[in-house]
Amino acid sequence: MSILVVENLEKTYPGTRKTPPVEAVRGVSFAVQSGEFFGLLGPNGAGKSTTLGCISTLVRPTSGRIVVDGVTVAKAPHEVKRRIAVVPQARNLDRDLTVREVLTYHGRYFGLPADEREKRATRLLEELQVADKAEAKPLTLSGGQQQRVLIARALMHDPKVVLLDEPTTGLDPQARRLLWETLRSLHQRGVTFILTTHYMEEADRLCDRLAIVDHGRILTLDTPAALKRSLPGAQVLDLWMRAPQPLAPRLRELAGVLNIEPVDELDGDGDDVERLRLFVEPGEGLLDRVLATVRGGGADLRHISLAQPSLEDVYIHLTGRGLRE
C-alpha cells in the first residue's frame, strides 16, 4: 500500500520587485510504499527540499495533491503532522533546552503521557548513541551528534514516514558512514524514509528506489541497480583533455565504444580542458585504440578514468552535466 502519494505537485515561489518568481517544482508525481527507503537525488536547487516541504505542510504547494497514509495534506494538515516527522537540512534543535528535553518536549507537543515520553527519550538516545549527551545543550554537540538527536526527535512520536532533508550534508566522512548505518538499521525495523540528497553514494547505499530530479522535474525513477543498468555499455571511460579538434566523431567509430557524451563540468576552473564520456564494452585493445585516436588527433590527454557506471553517470547521461559533490 502507498503510504505517500504525490500527484502533479507544482510550487512557484512568488517573485519580489527585484527577483523573478522561481518555479521550484514543476509537476512531480511519485508514490512511496510503506517500509520503503525512497530517495530524491539531484543537485542543489532541483526542487527536492521544496517537495519535502510540501509533504511536511511547511511549504504551500501552488497546485497538485499530496496524500499521506490516506490523509490529504491540504485538507487535514494536523493529521498529516501526526503521521510524519522531519529531519531538516538546517539543524534546528531548540538551543534553550537540553538534548533530553528536546525529545521530551517534542513528545509533549504530540500529547504523549509523561512516562511514555521519558521511556522513549531514554531508548532513542541510547539507540542513536547520544545518551551521554542527554543533559548537554544541543549547540555544544558536533554536527554528527546533532544530526542523531534530530533523528531521535523525529522518531519520538512514532511517525509513519520520516522525511530526511540532506541528512549528511556538512558531516565528515566518518560521521556520514555512521549515520548511514543508523538509518539502515532503522529502515530494517520498518521505518519508511524519504531522503533528499545530492550525494550519489548516499542514494546508492540507502535507497530502495530513487527519483533523479533536475529543474523541478523527475527525470527517471527506479531502483539504483536498474538505473545503472539503463546506461549503454558495461563501463564508463572518462577522458579529460585539450583537443585542437573535436575527437568525438572519430572515437565513436571505434569498436567497443557504444556512445559518447560531452560533459559540462559544473565547477570547471576556466581552462579549456574538456571532458568526454565514453560508454564502452571493454574488450581486447580498447584502451589502446582510444589512446591512439586521442594521440592521432593531437590532443593533450590530462586524465583518464575507467569505472563501473555509478548513479552520477546516470545523472550525467540524463542531463549532460556533472553533479557537484
Closer residue to another protein (CB): 116 or 325: 116
Give yes or no for a contact between 244 and 297, defined as CB atoms under 8 angstroms apart.
yes
Q: Is 26 a residue that touches another protein (CB under 8 A)? A: no
Q: Cα-flanking dihedrals φ and ψ of residue 103, to 5°?
A: -75, -45
* Nearest distance, CB of residue 37 and another protein, angstroms: 21
Distance in angstroms (rounded) separating the CA atoms of residues 315 and 280 = 17
Q: Is 105 a residue that touches another protein (CB under 8 A)? A: yes
| Helices 114-127 + 99-109 axis angle, to 10 | 130
Distance in angstroms (rounded) separating the CA atoms of residues 77 and 75 = 6
Dihedral in degrees, nearest 10, Cα atoms 74, 80, 81, 86: -100
Distance in angstroms (rounded) separating the CA atoms of residues 39 and 24 = 18
Closer residue to another protein (CB): 1 or 90: 90
Give yes or no for a contact between 301 and 251, defined as CB atoms under 8 angstroms apart.
no
Per-residue contact string for residues 227-266; x = within reach of another protein by CB under 8 A? ----------------------------------------
- Please, which of residues 83-102 interact with another protein by CB under 8 A? 84-86, 88, 90-97
Q: Is 120 a residue that touches another protein (CB under 8 A)? A: no
Q: Is 59 a residue that touches another protein (CB under 8 A)? A: yes
- Please, which of residues 129-188 interact with another protein by CB under 8 A? 153
Distance in angstroms (rounded) separating the CA atoms of residues 99 and 102 = 5
* Nearest distance, CB of residue 25 and another protein, angstroms: 12
- Please, which of residues 34-53 interact with another protein by CB under 8 A? 53
> Which position has the grid cell 593533450?
300
Where on the chain is the footprint of another protein (CB under 8 A)? 13, 53, 56-60, 77-79, 81-82, 84-86, 88, 90-97, 105-106, 108-111, 153
